[in-house]
Amino acid sequence: MPRSNMLLTAVAALALSGFHADAQGTRDRSNVASVRTGDPAMEEAKRKARATLPEFFKTAQAPKPSTKNFALKIGVPVGSELEFVWIRPFEKKRGRYSGQLRNDMIGRSLKFGDTVTFAESDIADWSYLDDGKMKGNFTTCAIFKNKPQHEMDAFKKQYGLECEF
């Protein structure tokens, strides 16, 4: 069954905070973007992330002192959609990965800090900080491609993300 939409938890805090329920239980969706399945910019971002995944894993396995916050973005099925969430820290055991959610999920009862297990094929993006500059995070660049320039400029200033468009 084709998926009609994707929910992407944006990285306004590099998967440091995600979105959470407020005191009334209302979920803050300000860090969430809905993207149509097959969106060309998003598909290219995921291809680029997957193509550079070996380089990311090599860097994560032998990090320099200037690097931190190695994270993976994975797609989790929620009904007929995929919800993309950040995982950090993560580890690989017996061919599978596991790690902690850095976001609450909209469509499932999983929440920030829960441990999830996933396959490498579930990985859609990766990110880390190197001397305060964000590396990877191609899907966020794709999200900002269709947003006002001032929003991207503010994000780039705050997180040091450079997008190639």
Q: Residue 117, class by beta-carbon neighbours within 10 Å (0-12 exposed, 13-18 middle, 19+ buried)? A: exposed
Sign of the dihedral through C-alpha 116, 10, 16, 126: positive
Q: How far apart are CA 48 and CA 165, in angstroms?
A: 13
Q: Which of 7-11, 154-158, 161-165 has the lowest mean pLDDT?
A: 7-11
**pTM value?**
0.79
pLDDT digits (tens, 9 = 90+) for 2-47: 444 444 444 433 333 333 333 333 344 445 566 667 788 899 999 9
Tokens of 24: 């009334």
E strand map for 102-158: 115-118, 123-130, 133-136
Q: Region 91-115: what's the mean pLDDT?
A: 90
Q: How far apart are CA 118 and CA 132, in angstroms?
A: 28
| pLDDT value for 31 | 55
Q: Is the pLDDT of residue 83 over 90?
A: no
Inter-residue contact 139 to 8 (CB < 8 Å): yes
The confidence score (pLDDT) of residue 165 equals: 56
Six token digits for residue 118: 């996933």
